[in-house]
Chains A and B, each alone.
Chain A
Amino acid sequence: MTASAQPATIGEAPHRVDFEIIPPRGLLVVGLVLAGLVAAVATNRLWALDFFHVVGGGMWTALDLFLGFVLGPIMGRLSIPARTEFTTRFMPTMILIMPTLVVATLAAGWQLARHLGYLNASYSHHGWVVASMIVVAVMAVVALGILEPANLAVLFELKKPQPNGEVIAKLMRRFIYSAGITGAMQVVTLVIMTRLATT
């Protein structure tokens, strides 16, 4: 979640756009995905678990890399009104999408690893599995401790009658530092997962 609405000049007030911080219709989709996840875990069917893990993980990784290294720099070059409008339309959906993808990937991945015997210490590549847990833990700390709070705070700031550009700029600076960490961790995740899938 690395999109930004960084003002060109610190202190410059962005335009105010009316929007919903949490889109209610999106909650229905989240509910359906979580219900499917519960069903996949309950039935313990290999295909369903693999589906949630691969699709969720692929989308999570792709979104993080795309936002961090493609969309983020493009947004940085947009005009302030364009950036503000994009942020207010885009970030509310991301607030729902990212946690849903993360929980689907992790819960299905855990169950899948158990199903396939990857969690057993005797598994020849158990070290890679543990490494993936550590990578996920680092990403969780960055996402939950830096990215998501800043995203939410920016959306609340943009809801104000007169958004404070200084506050938005301060919050968005966090993205610059954390996007690199998240991107690097996602690359490491790709290496670990492709190793596990091919050995």
Chain B
Amino acid sequence: MTVRATTTGTAGDNPAPAPSAANRRLPPIAEVAVGSVVLMLTGGVYLAAHLPGHPPLGPAEGLVIGGGALSLADLAMLSRIRPFSWPTFFLVARWALLAYGVIAGMLEYVFVFDHTRGATLVVLTVALAVFAIDVPTILAFTVARYQETTPPPTRVHNGWL
């Protein structure tokens, strides 16, 4: 399935006008990613509120799994948008991944330094990893949606154009 960007103009027999960056209607990529961030942060606060003890992990695991599922659905939805400014998206995404990877790494370092171990550390690590993917997704999508679109890659012979 391909999610097509549309304009708010009228639909009819005539070809659709070129999408205006300000008026394009796209899937709620940023909103879904923010929802995932909310679940991750909720799980993080739940665990942090109980550390250094050993809280029941069920609620945190549920929140992290829910957030992870949202992120995966979000990425799937994102990959189907045509047309889209992919060069801009990846330009922002890779730098944001680096920045938020460093931030998530710093927080992970603090948890490990504080002797957080076992299942609690696994849940926190997964939450940080999803967080470090969600934020670049939000940043890159918000920037790229207002850029000039590029046509999707066309497959020919054995490679991609």
Residues of chain A whose beta carbon lies under 8 Å from any beta carbon of chain B: 22, 34, 37-38, 41-42, 99, 103, 106-107, 110-111, 114, 119-121, 129-130, 133-134, 137, 140-141, 144-145, 148-150, 152-153, 156-157, 164, 166-167, 170-171
Q: Which residue of chain B has the shortest Cβ distance to A11 in the bound complex?
A: B22
With A and B bound together, what is the CA distance between A192 and B114 in angstroms? 24
Cβ-based interface call for B146 (8 A): yes
Knowing A111-B110, A121-B53 are in contact, say whether A157-B146 is a contact too (CB < 8 A): yes
Residues in B whose Cβ lies below 8 Å from that of A157: 146
Whole-angstrom distance from the CB of A7 to the nearest CB of chain B? Answer: 12
**Are A133 and B48 interface neighbours, CB within 8 A?**
yes
**Are B110 and A152 interface neighbours, CB within 8 A?**
no
**Are B106 and A107 interface neighbours, CB within 8 A?**
yes
Chain B interface residue bracket vs A: 35 or more
Known contacts A111-B114, A121-B53, A137-B41; can you find 12 more A-B pairs with CB under 8 A?
Answer: A34-B106, A41-B109, A103-B103, A107-B106, A137-B44, A144-B37, A144-B135, A149-B139, A152-B139, A152-B142, A152-B143, A153-B145
**Are B52 and A164 interface neighbours, CB within 8 A?**
no
**Are A167 and B106 interface neighbours, CB within 8 A?**
no
Residues of chain B whose beta carbon lies under 8 Å from any beta carbon of chain A: 21-22, 30, 33-34, 37-38, 41-42, 44-45, 48-53, 88, 92, 95, 99, 102-103, 106-107, 109-110, 113-114, 135, 138-139, 141-143, 145-147
A/B interface sample: 25 pairs, CB < 8 A: A22-B95, A34-B102, A37-B106, A38-B106, A41-B109, A107-B110, A110-B110, A114-B52, A119-B52, A121-B53, A130-B49, A133-B48, A137-B41, A144-B37, A148-B139, A149-B142, A149-B143, A152-B143, A153-B145, A153-B146, A156-B88, A156-B143, A164-B21, A164-B146, A171-B146
With A and B bound together, what is the CA distance between A170 and B23 in angstroms? 10
Whole-angstrom distance from the CB of B37 to the nearest CB of chain A? Answer: 6
Residues in B whose Cβ lies below 8 Å from that of A167: 21-22, 146
Sorted nearest first, the 4 A-B pairs with minimum C-beta distance are A149-B142, A145-B34, A137-B41, A166-B22
Residues in A whose Cβ lies below 8 Å from that of B50: 121
With A and B bound together, what is the CA distance between A103 and B106 in angstroms? 8
**Are B143 and A153 interface neighbours, CB within 8 A?**
yes
**Are B34 and A141 interface neighbours, CB within 8 A?**
yes
Whole-angstrom distance from the CB of B32 to the nearest CB of chain A? Answer: 11
With A and B bound together, what is the CA distance between A41 and B113 in angstroms? 8
**Are A106 and B21 interface neighbours, CB within 8 A?**
no
Residues in A whose Cβ lies below 8 Å from that of B51: 119
Q: Which residue of chain B has the shortest Cβ distance to A165 in the bound complex?
A: B22
With A and B bound together, what is the CA distance between A158 and B139 in angstroms? 16
Whole-angstrom distance from the CB of A60 to the nearest CB of chain B? Answer: 14
With A and B bound together, what is the CA distance between A150 and B37 in angstroms? 17
Residues in B whose Cβ lies below 8 Å from that of A152: 92, 139, 142-143
**Are A41 and B52 interface neighbours, CB within 8 A?**
no
Knowing A107-B106, A167-B21 are in contact, say whether A99-B138 is a contact too (CB < 8 A): no
